[in-house]
Amino acid sequence: MASKKQAPFDAVAVLNEIESKFEVVQVLDLEGNVINDQYMPDLTDEQLVELMERMVWTRVLDQRSISLNRQGRLGFYAPTAGQEASQLASQYALEKADWILPGYRDVPQLIWHGLPLTKAFLWSRGHFAGSQFPEGMNALAPQIIIGAQYVQTAGVALGLKKKGLQNVAITYTGDGGSSQGDFYEGINFAAAFKAPAIFVIQNNNYAISTPREKQTAAKTLAQKAVAAGIPGTVVDGMDALAVYFVTKQARERAIAGDGPSLIETMTYRYGPHTMAGDDPTRYRTSDEDSEWVKKDPLVRFRKFLENKGLWTEEKENEVMERAKEEIKTALKEADATPKQTVSQLAEIMYSGEMPANLKEQYEIYKEKESK
């Protein structure tokens, strides 16, 4: 019997078409020129300068944190240099009462959202006082379980919606984190509840030593938004203005009741994954590093501001000096923080009365500690 020739359904064409839609949003070129004026955010000169100051300050913080970690004066530290635009320009698009659910690399966003530097250092060292955030600061301590912050963000955003607040919840993960189940469940829940959430993937190309290509065959990470039925945007994560623009837009969508967005920032970390022995020379070439150094978010934004007459070397030095002084003061305060006791850990375990088992142990430790 002659078989009828069947026309194949061209699923590959569908995929190619979808993937081709995710273009990179960019405002500045490498020389600091505005190349996409339609995405130029509405920021005053003062705001532009403030954003640059934060980026410079945070670069100094990263340099100092690495060296303090090497001296044993800080504990866990995940370097941030290279990600200033991605981290700080997205945070800059938030309001004070918005919620931040950071990953472990996202300490800078917390600092600019109101976390005293001393507490950030205490968190790095492993002291509970580092996680006692100031009253009214809507954020969680950095999340160590990759993906957990995503499902929790769906819940915070739904809570904000139920309370009728004009606020959003923003969360961050890395490229590797987009492979987690909680990543998908988080964006899908927020989508199903039309909750005001902003999900950011900071794609710095590597999850420790595993390159982004080994996480997924998807051409972009932003297209994963399609699975949740929400908008996804790829943005140049080394371009502060572009990051600010897309985050602000996602925030406006969210508070208008139109639901969550997924943003992929194309970025890079110049340092190792963490200071706990990771050696990037094992998996990254110096050629690759220098390619990304050309895209340094500070260099590009500095050129933009200099072109506008808003930035000088003197100004930059002033910010750097200020950062160093503030870091010194914060370290002193961290050093002066009393050591933790087991009875204190028992006190923060439960809200309200301690269960009988812990109460009994509390008394034992209290007795020991009084000697």
Partner 1 sequence: MAQMTMIQAITNALQTELKNDENVLVFGEDVGVNGGVFRATEGLQKEFGEDRVFDTPLAESGIGGLAIGLSLTGFRPVMEIQFFGFVFEVFDSIAAQLARQNFRSGGTKPAPVVIRSPFGGGVHTPELHADNLEGLMAQTPGIKVVIPSNPYDAKGLLISAIRDDNPVVYLEHMKLYRSFRAEVPEEEYTVEIGKAAVVQEGTDLSIITYGAMVQESVKAAEELAKDGHSVEVIDLRTVQPLDIETIIASVEKTGRVVVVQEAQKQAGVGANVVSEISERAVLSLEAPIARVYAADTAYPFTQAENVWLPNKDGIVEAAKRTLEF
| Catalytic positions, written as ranges | 269, 273, 283
Out of 40, 159, 226, 333, the residue judged to bind partner 1 by CB under 8 A: 159
3-state secondary structure at position 208: coil
Report whether 310 contacts 49 (CB < 8 A).
yes
Q: How far is the CB of 94 from partner 1 (least distance, A)?
A: 16
3-state secondary structure at position 234: strand
Between CA 185 and CA 190, with CA 186 as vertex, the angle to 5 degrees is 110
Residue-by-residue DSSP string for 127-178: -GGGG-PPTT--B-PPB-STTHHHHHHHHHHHHHHHTT-S--EEEEEETGGG
- Contact track, partner 1, 122-151, x by CB under 8 A: ------xxxxxx------xx---x--x-xx
Q: Which residue number, 34 or 192, has a Cβ lying nearer to partner 1? A: 192
Residue 349 and residue 69: Cα distance in Å, rounded?
29
Query: What are the residues whose beta carbons fall under 8 Å from the beta carbon of 233, sequence distance 6 or more?
Result: 22, 25, 222, 246, 250, 261, 262, 263, 264
Q: Does 362 bind partner 1 (CB under 8 A)?
A: no
Q: Does 121 bind partner 1 (CB under 8 A)?
A: no
Q: How far is the CB of 362 from partner 1 (least distance, A)?
A: 13
At 117, give phi and psi (nearest 5°).
-60, -35
What is the DSSP secondary structure assignment for residue 271, as one 8-state letter?
S
Q: Which residue number, 193 or 283, has a Cβ lying nearer to partner 1? A: 193
Q: Does 358 bind partner 1 (CB under 8 A)?
A: yes
Out of 4, 163, 282, 371, the residue judged to bind partner 1 by CB under 8 A: 163
Q: Does 169 bind partner 1 (CB under 8 A)?
A: yes
Q: Which residue number, 34 or 227, has a Cβ lying nearer to partner 1? A: 227
Rule CB under 8 A: which residues touch partner 1? 99, 128-133, 140-141, 145, 148, 150-160, 162-163, 169, 181-182, 185-186, 188-189, 192, 345, 347-352, 355-358
